[in-house]
């Protein structure tokens, strides 16, 4: 009996905190008071009660989850896991994975098998419980094709008979969007309007304009849209009124991953530059009815001085031909363009306008806002107006 009591006291030390938390510790207190003597009144009763309490708590367990949120990439897989303590096989237990807000059954495992009919419809075929981890006391829920809507909290609940425990795990979904695209626009007053676009981010990204020293430049505007899949698209713009800047950078950062994508623009390569801004021009609009100069838009990433030596296959902008050809004879228009560019055009005006170098020079002249008038007997409104008027600039 003495050996039994000693063994029980030693064993009690190991499970004291567990018994104390679960059921209190009157039995342990009683054991601490008794002497290691074969004669102790009620010792058999105390031993019996302690053994019964041990049998009762032997089936108790606790479910633990990670302290930090789980992060999964958009379109990938997410493995959410909870651990049963003390470790034991959970194949014969009931395992539930439930969204907390709103409360939805994501996956249910009961009676030794998955029960997809008990889960919400949007999760059919989207989740699976990894069976190879169950004998280690780990319940792993795998979510396939992770989407922004999968972000949130999940409750892992394990039940065995009358024993139940759960833990909450948070899932954060992240998506890295497209590389920023810069669009440059030269206004009539020789200011630069810069626009930066990027698509496919989650959660909502942080956008910054930075100067060559790394200082932040406040944006004129910042617009966010969200598509049906929950991904964010951002457009931000600013006006550059000072030409002292050497470089500008548009930076888009994912706050969950702390990763960013950037695009840098060399201001010296655009304004005020003698080479062609219009090699990859998107549009060039003349304003015959307004005293304003044209606005030329270009992709900043394609503007390089070395492109002057290339012969891009571009025709003269349709807007220019549409506006001018009905108003003036083709010969007068040809002489006007030749005088503007300082180059001769082939006898065929349409063919001559396909020359990329001529187009570039003309676009630069238009962009700078100094366009000579076409010598023609008819004195119409277009000829009488001055295209660029510095008095209109703020």
Predicted confidence at residue 53, as pLDDT, reads: 53
92-96, 155-159, 185-189, range with the lowest pLDDT: 185-189
The predicted-structure confidence for 105-129, as pLDDT tens digits, reads as follows: 999 999 999 999 999 999 999 999 9
Predicted confidence at residue 185, as pLDDT, reads: 83
- 60 vs 160: CA distance, rounded Å: 9
pLDDT at 103 over 70: yes
The predicted-structure confidence for 234-263, as pLDDT tens digits, reads as follows: 999 998 876 666 789 999 999 999 999 999
- 43 vs 332: CA distance, rounded Å: 122
> Across residues 272-296, what is the average pLDDT?
36
Residues near 111 by Cβ (< 8 Å), separated by ≥ 6? none
User: Pairing relation of β-strands 259-266 and 247-254?
Assistant: antiparallel
The predicted-structure confidence for 31-66, as pLDDT tens digits, reads as follows: 444 444 544 445 656 655 554 454 445 557 899 999
Joined together, the tokens standing for residue 107 give 């996956």
pLDDT at 201 over 50: yes
Predicted confidence at residue 166, as pLDDT, reads: 96
Detail the DSSP E strand segments found in the chain.
Answer: 62-64, 70-73, 78-85, 94-99, 104-110, 113-114, 127-129, 138-143, 152-160, 163-174, 181-186, 192-201, 206-210, 216-217, 221-226, 232-240, 247-254, 259-266, 281-285, 295-299
pLDDT at 212 over 90: no
> Across residues 161-190, what is the average pLDDT?
91
Joined together, the tokens standing for residue 172 give 């954060």
Q: Which residue has the higher pLDDT, 2 or 227?
A: 227
Predicted confidence at residue 42, as pLDDT, reads: 58
The predicted-structure confidence for 321-333, as pLDDT tens digits, reads as follows: 444 444 445 676 7
pLDDT at 143 over 80: yes
Predicted confidence at residue 358, as pLDDT, reads: 64
User: Pairing relation of β-strands 104-110 and 113-114?
Assistant: antiparallel
- 86 vs 67: CA distance, rounded Å: 18
| All structural domains of the chain | 2-57 (no CATH), 62-174 (2.60.40.10), 181-269 (2.60.40.10), 281-392 (no CATH)
pLDDT at 77 over 50: yes
Q: Which residue has the higher pLDDT, 231 or 312?
A: 231
Q: Contact 372/336 with Cβ under 8 angstroms?
A: yes
The percent of residues in the chain predicted with pLDDT above 90, rounded, is: 44
Taking CB atoms within 8 Å and a gap of at least 24, the contacts of 64-67 are: 64/167, 65/156, 65/167, 65/168, 65/169, 66/169
Predicted confidence at residue 9, as pLDDT, reads: 47
Q: Contact 300/335 with Cβ under 8 angstroms?
A: no
pLDDT at 281 over 70: no
Predicted confidence at residue 113, as pLDDT, reads: 95
Cis amide bond preceding 102, omega within 30 = yes
170-174, 267-271, 311-315, range with the lowest pLDDT: 311-315
Report CA-CA distances (Å) from 16 to 20, 63, 200, 272, 353. Answer: 6, 20, 54, 81, 93
Q: Which residue has the higher pLDDT, 239 or 178?
A: 178
Joined together, the tokens standing for residue 276 give 């062609």
Where would I find the H helices in the chain? Answer: 2-23, 26-33, 43-57, 318-324, 330-341, 349-352, 356-368, 381-384
- 83 vs 117: CA distance, rounded Å: 25
Average pLDDT, the chain: 72
> Across residues 330-356, what is the average pLDDT?
67
- Residue 235, Cα to own-chain centre: how many angstroms? 13
């Amino acid at each position: 009996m003495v050996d039994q009591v000693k063994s029980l006291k030693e064993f009690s030390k190991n499970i004291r905190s567990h018994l104390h938390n679960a059921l209190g510790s009157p039995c342990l207190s009683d054991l601490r008071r008794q002497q290691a003597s074969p004669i102790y009144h009620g010792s058999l009763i105390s031993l019996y009660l302690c053994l019964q309490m041990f049998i009762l708590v032997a089936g108790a367990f606790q479910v633990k989850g990670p302290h930090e949120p789980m992060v999964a990439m958009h379109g990938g897989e997410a493995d959410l896991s909870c651990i049963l303590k003390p470790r034991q096989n959970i194949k014969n237990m009931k395992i539930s994975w439930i969204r907390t807000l709103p409360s939805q059954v994501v996956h249910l495992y009961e009676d030794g098998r998955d029960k997809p009919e008990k889960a919400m419809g949007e999760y059919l075929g989207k989740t699976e419980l990894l069976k190879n981890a169950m004998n280690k006391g780990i319940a792993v829920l795998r979510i396939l094709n992770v989407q922004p809507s999968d972000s949130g909290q999940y409750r892992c609940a394990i039940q065995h008979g009358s024993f139940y425990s759960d833990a909450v795990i948070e899932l954060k979904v992240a998506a890295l969007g497209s590389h920023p695209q810069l669009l440059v626009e030269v206004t009539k007053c020789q200011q630069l309007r810069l626009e930066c676009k990027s698509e496919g981010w989650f959660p909502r990204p942080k956008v910054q304009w930075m100067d060559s020293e790394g200082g932040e430049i406040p944006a004129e505007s910042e617009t966010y849209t969200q598509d049906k899949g929950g991904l964010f698209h951002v457009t931000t713009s600013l006006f550059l009124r000072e030409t002292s800047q050497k470089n500008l950078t548009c930076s888009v950062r994912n706050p969950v991953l702390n990763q960013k994508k950037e695009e840098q623009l060399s201001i010296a390569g655009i304004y005020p530059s003698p080479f062609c801004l219009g090699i990859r021009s998107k549009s060039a609009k003349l304003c015959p009815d307004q005293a304003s100069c044209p606005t030329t838009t270009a992709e900043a990433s394609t503007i390089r001085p070395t492109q002057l030596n290339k012969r891009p296959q571009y025709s003269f902008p349709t807007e220019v031909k549409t506006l001018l050809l009905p108003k003036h004879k083709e010969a007068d228009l040809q002489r006007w363009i030749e005088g503007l560019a300082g180059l001769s055009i082939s006898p065929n005006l349409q063919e001559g306008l396909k020359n990329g170098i001529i187009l570039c020079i003309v676009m630069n002249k238009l962009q700078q806002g100094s366009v000579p008038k076409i010598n023609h007997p008819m004195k119409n409104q277009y000829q009488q107006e001055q295209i660029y008027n510095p008095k209109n600039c703020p």
